[in-house]
Structure 1
Amino acid sequence: MSDTIDYTLKVPVEVKTAAGNVVERIEKVTLKRLLGREVRQALNSAKGGGNGDVSFALLAASASLPPSTLDQFEAVDVLQLLDLSSAFVGGPSS
């Protein structure tokens, strides 16, 4: 198994400042394998949340992105990334 998986977003995301200035355009996400401490930190950050919060926290850790950035991704990209990241956290992969 590879240590990383590259995924090109179907809908690129522009990260903006509060004033609306684009600071970054995300077109590709690289998922990485997580260490135990990274899983623990992600799960702790989602404490009290539902399954979606836990999944997002693990995906954010694997993608090295804040959950608030993932919130801006289109559903098609989020769902594909969740599927791809499952290979790194023991879930089934299609």
Structure 2
Amino acid sequence: MNDTMIGVDLAKNVFQLHGATMTGHLRFRKKLTRSRFRQFMASQPPAVVVMEACGSASYWAREMVKLGHEVKLIAPQYVRPFVK
């Protein structure tokens, strides 16, 4: 059961992660490098992973699906309201 949502801000070297329950309670906030990101996500139970649709998002979405997560890509114009 996916009771955790993980928001990922993709960047070149360092990714920002925000984990919360589906009701909005904070679980964690992390800043991880690319290699640590993959290791961290492999250790997480299946979750809904949300990221902005950008150039590298499709690659990372495929990687997260391989790890058992459900991925949702959000169009850039909807990311700012999602953060609020």
TM-score category, normalised to shorter length? 0.3 to 0.5
Indicate the structure (1 or 2) with the bigger Cα radius of gyration.
Answer: 1
Q: TM-score, normalised by structure 1?
A: 0.30
Structure with the bigger percentage of strand: 2
Q: TM-score, normalised by structure 2?
A: 0.32
